[in-house]
Copies of this chain bind each other. A is one copy, B any other.
Amino acid sequence: MRHLIDFTDLSEREWQHIYRRFEEIYEHPGDYRDALRGQTLASLFYEPSTRTRLSFEAAMLKLGGGVFGFSDPAASSVSKGETLKDTVIMTSGYANVLTLRHPREGAAMAASLYSSVPVINAGDGGHCHPTQTLTDLVTLRRLRGSVEGLRVCVCGDLKYGRTAHSLLRALARFEGIRAVLVSAPELSLPEYVKRTCGAIKLDEQPDLRTAIGDVDVLYMTRLQRERFRDPAEYERLKGRYTLTPEILSGAPSDLLVMHPLPRAGEISEAVDGDPRAVYFQQARYGMFARMALLLELCSLPPFAVKEAEPQGVHRCDNGSCITKTEPYLPVFEGSACRYCEQQNN
């Protein structure tokens, strides 16, 4: 791994290594407080975030490193029209590692073409959010001992929800996973994602109470207003599934209730006191997982940036792909866009 654009950029061996490092840091954080002294993280957030941005900042600070960057592009040269390429080249010249959140799919892949240091995708539009998946897997393994054989219910926005897609794709690498999918019909898991789920046994169940009667994990997701083209559709679908103590009452006593957060009503506050509610602990594990990841990436030897040679032409159909706003990006022949991975129609 040189850059972390998609969770699958981590090999099996790297996942094992990062997990073990996570455990060491979680149990002995004081031992790591100077680990990245003198090193810096460039935090480039082109759209709002609390959790991911602050999680990375806290992680780097607790390793003794420093953080600089922007979280409001209006207050930076970006408002003077600077390209993503130039911003990435410049900041990677100042830092040891870069995190990038961007509203357009493919932005992290684009950044990785120009950065002289490792790039971590902190979320690129509706495409990937690999450190959320890392957080999720670390939580599952920490609280269950192992990810193998888990029965996972995923509920909410399975159509646009990048965290749901990424989690399922990552779980596909483990043995014996069963997934129960709960969503409105309009928001069901798309075929192209099902194809990436490998050997996972997928079932669909419209009723949440029934679905969680016999699973190990309930993973709730938020409908993200910002991903819906049609606001009326968002309004119509958003309240469909809400987890309440009543619905939870029929679930196994050792169920893990997870949520990437922020939540917007799909888990009632009344659930927070239930010992099965682990979403806040999940966020905390995420900070330690990011510490392990930063330690790993900051210890890679330096590498030379090799500018990609364009090979043919690919006209991406995705209106929110990074190639629409950064026209200098080299494009490549193929049925799928190299950046946002969307298949052409």
Q: A68 and B54 in contact (CB under 8 A), knowing A269-B85, A284-B94?
A: yes
Type the 1/0 row for A103-127, where 1 means its CB is closer than 8 Å to any CB of B.
0000000000000000000000000
- Docked-complex contact A86 and B261, CB < 8 angstroms: yes
Q: Please report which residues of chain A, range 42-58, place their CB below 8 angstroms from some CB of chain B when the two chains form the complex.
A: 42, 45, 48-51, 53-55, 57-58
Q: Which of A10-18, A73-81, A164-172, A184-192 makes up part of the contact surface?
A: A73-81
Within 8 A of B (CB), among A65-92: 65-72, 74-83, 85-87, 89-91
Q: Is the CB of B261 within 8 A of A54?
A: no
**A-B interface, 4 closest residue pairs, ranked by CB to CB distance from nearest:** A61-B66, A33-B38, A50-B77, A93-B284
A65 to B66, CA, bound (A): 9
Question: Beyond A42-B58, A54-B94, A55-B94: 5 further Cβ-contacts under 8 Å?
Answer: A34-B38, A50-B77, A50-B82, A51-B77, A94-B284
The count of identical subunits is 3
A199 contacts the other chain (Cβ, under 8 Å)? no
Contacting pair B61 A78 (CB below 8 A): no
Alpha-carbon distance A76/B87, docked complex (angstroms): 21
**Selected contact of A57 from candidates B48, B68, B77, CB within 8 Å:** B68
Contact of A69 with B54 at beta-carbon distance under 8 Å, contacts A38-B29, A38-B33, A264-B80 already known: yes
**Chain B residues positioned under 8 Å from A38 (CB to CB):** 29-30, 33-34, 62, 64
Among A30, A37, A91, A94, residue most surrounded by chain B Cβ atoms (within 10 Å): A94
Q: Could you say which of B33, B86, B94, B225 contacts A262, with CB atoms under 8 Å apart?
A: B86
Q: Say yes or no for A328: interface residue by CB 8 A criterion.
A: yes
B62 touches A77 (CB 8 A): no
Verify if A287 is at the interface (C-beta below 8 Å from B): yes
A54 to chain B, nearest CB (A): 5
Please name all residues of chain B whose beta carbon is closer than 8 Å to the beta carbon of A81 when the two chains form the complex. 262, 264
A208 CB within 8 Å of chain B = no
Residues in B with CB closer than 8 Å to A78 are: 50
Cα distance A26–B9 when bound, in Å? Answer: 33
Q: B37, A64: Cβ atoms under 8 Å? A: yes
Contact A307 B273 (CB under 8 A): yes
Q: How far is the CA of A81 from the CA of B264 in the complex (A)?
A: 7
* CB-based contact B68/A48 at 8 Å: no
